[in-house]
Structure formats: C-alpha cells, structure tokens
Amino acid sequence: MYKQFLDFEELNNLYDTIPDWELYRKSIYYFYSNNNSNTNIKKRISFSLFFDLLSSLLWLIPFPIFSKVVYIGHPRYIQNHWYDENLENLKKTSNSFIYINQSKQLNLKNVFHRRVPFLFFKLLSIIISRIKRPPVYFKNLNQIVSNETGKQINILDLESIRLYNKFVFLYFDLLFSISSLSKVFFVRSDNYTSLLKAAKKNNIQSFEFQHGDIVKEELSINHPKIKKSKVSYADKLLVYSNIWTKDLSVFSDVIEIGKKRPKQFNSHSSNIILVLEIFNPDEQIKFCNQLAKLLYITFSFEKNFIIKVHPSTSQVDFYKQLKGLFINYPLITVVYTQQLFENLLNKNSLVIGKYSTALFYSSDLGVNTFVVKSKIREFPLKLNTVKVFNSYKDLFTYLKDNFHNILNFNQNLDFKPTYFKNFNIKLLSRIILN
C-alpha cells in the first residue's frame, strides 16, 4: 500500500498542484491505506483547557532572548511525575537551554520551562475552519482521492490543518526572530513542518531526536521519489542506531547518538509482557482474554502477566476497558504510561506482541521476544532473540503446546546491540556546544 500511495501522489503531481502538500499527506496516506474510515485529523480537545491555554500565550513576555538552545519536548507521565528522556540527557550537557512543550506545566529545577499553546492553535483552527471557506484546491484534492478510493475526505479537517500550521509558523517565526537562538531540538510527536520552516527562515539549526521506530512508511523522514526542495526536514537526525535509516531516503544528516540501556534488570521474578499496538483493538482484546484464561485457568500460572498499552493519548479508553476486563485477575497488570518499558523487564521476561518499538528494544536487550506479523509494518528478522508467528492464533497454539518449556526462558547474553546502541553523552555535548 505504501508503494501504491507514492505512485498515486506522483501520478497526480500532488506536490505541485496542492500547496504545502506535505502538511496533509500523512493524514491522506492513512485514509488511502484504509487504516481509518475517515481522515481522522481532528484531535480530542477539552474546552476546559481553553483559558489555561490562553494564559500560555503570555510566556513570550519573560522569554530569555539570549539563550542559544531550545528543546521542544514530548514528556510522559511516568511513576507519578512527568518524564522526558531527551530532557534528562540535555540537562547533563548544559543548563542554559529552554525547554518547552505543548501544554504540560512541569516542575523542573534549573531549567527554564514554558508551555507552548499548540492545543490553543488546534482549537482556534478548528473554529475558524468551520466559519471560513476553504481554498478551492481542497475540492480538487477531494476529487482526486475520491476517484482513487471511492471515499470522500473531510475538507474542513484539511482546512483546520492548514490554519493550524499557519499559526504555528507565525508563532515560531516571532520567537526565533526576537531571540538569540542558534539551535532547536525537537521530538516529532506531531507535524513540525511549520517549526522547521520558521527555523530555516531564521537560520537556526534543527535537530530531531528519534521517536519510536523509523521505517519506510515514516513519511516525515523517508523521502523516496521526492526532491529536497519539496519537503521540510531537520538538518540533523539523532538516531538510536544507523541501522534504522540504512535503506531509507533520508535528507537529514544522520548522527548515531544511541539510547540509554539498563545496566541491569530489575530483580523481580520472571513475567510475561504483552505489548499492544494502536490498531485492531477487538483482535487484541480477544487474544488478551484467551491468554489470560490459558495462563491462570488452564495452567495455574503463578507469575505476573503484564499488558502494556501503547502510550498514545488515543489509547486512554482502551486502557480503561482492559483495566475493567481483568479487575478480577490479581496477577494481571495493565500498564499505560505509569512505568518505563525497561522497568518492566528482567532477564527472565518473555515479551510478546505485534508491531511495536518496544519489541525491537526487548530483543535488542537479549530478552526473548515473540512477534506476530503485522500488515501495517514489517518486523526485521535480524535478532536471534525473536521468534515470529503469522497470527495471534499461531502464537496462542505455540504457547499452549510449549507452555512448560517457555517458562524456562532466560536472557540471551550472546548478542550485540543492533537497534539501540549505547548512549553517547559526549557526542551530544559536542553537538550542543559547537
């Protein structure tokens, strides 16, 4: 489907006929590939945040204009506090940078922190898109997509994306123009096209930290069949390992910076960890039920079974549903963002799941990992700690037939880090200071 989409946008010359096509292509790609029944562009926004977000507009007033580095982060609420791994790494290299994020007010020592009203811009763009008539070229795009897929896209959603990116560009253009910033670091948890355009306009170097996996379907990083002048990209891409970009068309200069790896595993007893993906919730709930009954009814399993839900905000309801489903199973723990994945692991863990960056990570640590093939993305078969199954059904059958054998799983120590090299703090320091 990915190759078909590239052919589709090339055939219809979308980069030339649709202004700022790169703003919309990811949403259209998911729509085109039938992963969503609609364009699914709007975010869930709580109107109770409206005044709180408005107040964050005032953060420009005390902005320290002589700071040289800004980091736009993506914190997660873990173990009763907000945590951002890249922020922790940056703090070890410098204390003179600015940390900003979307809307979470963090209590950070020795770091100048402010919120950026991205959510306010989203809300404003949605409101205006419902009042203002969208550009004509969206109708043309709708006709092109409809001819290809037989479905209509939501033009108002596209208009809200256009307006949102316009607000973000104006915001960062102002921020960059009144400051002495020379470097901007960010994690691509959203579409940062406008941020990159503002940085380029103001001659500010941009550095993107890897966030999750990087595969051929990563439209914001992999650019086959596209000219450099048509897309926005970071000057430098800081990756866990060069293997992630080895066979991709990446315009950014790739720098292997690594990722922190646990020095030793927790001492808790062996466990089974099921890592869930964003897609196909019904299929995953069915498998969770089957596995729970197999473990605790058929085999009287006396150890922990941990279900790890994807940390996306879109999975909150799914997490609550699973919590309620297994409330009567004392050895089953459903985890959302409460703990770091590496804190769940130990040398005797068995990690199972479909496609997830966590599966790369566990296998790279030498932990035995069972993977179910995904239609969304392909799992590279390069680590000897990985066993691959065609479906959840095949995995369930294997677990049922070999249950007592797999209870003896142990960490594989005869391996070398492939996807997550050891973190290079000295290299990050040089990048910051140069």
- Domains of the chain plus CATH, in order, are 1-261+421-434 (3.40.50), 271-406 (3.40.50.2000)
- What is the distance between the alpha carbons of residues 389 and 392, in angstroms, rounded to a whole number? 7
Give the model's pLDDT for residue 38: 44
Q: Is the sign of the CA dihedral 67, 69, 72, 73 positive or negative?
A: negative
- What is the distance between the alpha carbons of residues 374 and 405, in angstroms, rounded to a whole number? 26
Angle at 41 between CA 36 and CA 43, to 5 degrees: 115
Give the number of C-alpha atoms closer than 13 A to the C-alpha of residue 24, restricted to the C-beta side: 27
- What is the distance between the alpha carbons of residues 102 and 419, in angstroms, rounded to a whole number? 29
For the entire predicted model, the pTM comes to: 0.86
Contact 423, 259 (CB under 8 A): yes
Query: What is the CB neighbour count within 10 angstroms for residue 296?
Result: 17
Angle at 421 between CA 416 and CA 422, to 5 degrees: 105
Structure-block tokens of residue 372: 């179910």
Please state whether beta strands 236-239 and 205-209 pair in parallel, antiparallel, or not at all (unpaired): parallel
Angle at 169 between CA 168 and CA 170, to 5 degrees: 95
- What is the distance between the alpha carbons of residues 98 and 111, in angstroms, rounded to a whole number? 7
Q: pLDDT tens for the chain, 434 residues: list them.
A: 788 889 899 999 999 999 999 999 888 887 877 644 444 444 444 444 455 455 555 554 445 556 788 888 877 777 667 788 898 898 888 767 778 775 555 555 556 666 667 777 888 898 999 998 899 999 999 999 989 888 888 899 899 999 999 998 998 898 888 888 899 999 876 668 999 999 999 999 999 999 888 888 888 899 998 889 999 999 999 999 999 998 899 999 999 999 988 766 665 566 899 999 887 888 999 999 999 999 999 988 888 899 999 887 778 889 999 999 999 899 999 998 767 788 888 777 889 998 788 888 888 888 888 999 877 666 665 555 678 899 999 999 999 998 877 766 665 656 677 889 999 999 999 999 88
DSSP letter (8 states) at residue 413: -
Contact 369, 387 (CB under 8 A): yes
Q: Which amino acid is at 379?
A: F
- What is the distance between the alpha carbons of residues 317 and 334, in angstroms, rounded to a whole number? 13
Phi then psi for 180, rounded to 5 degrees? -105, 25
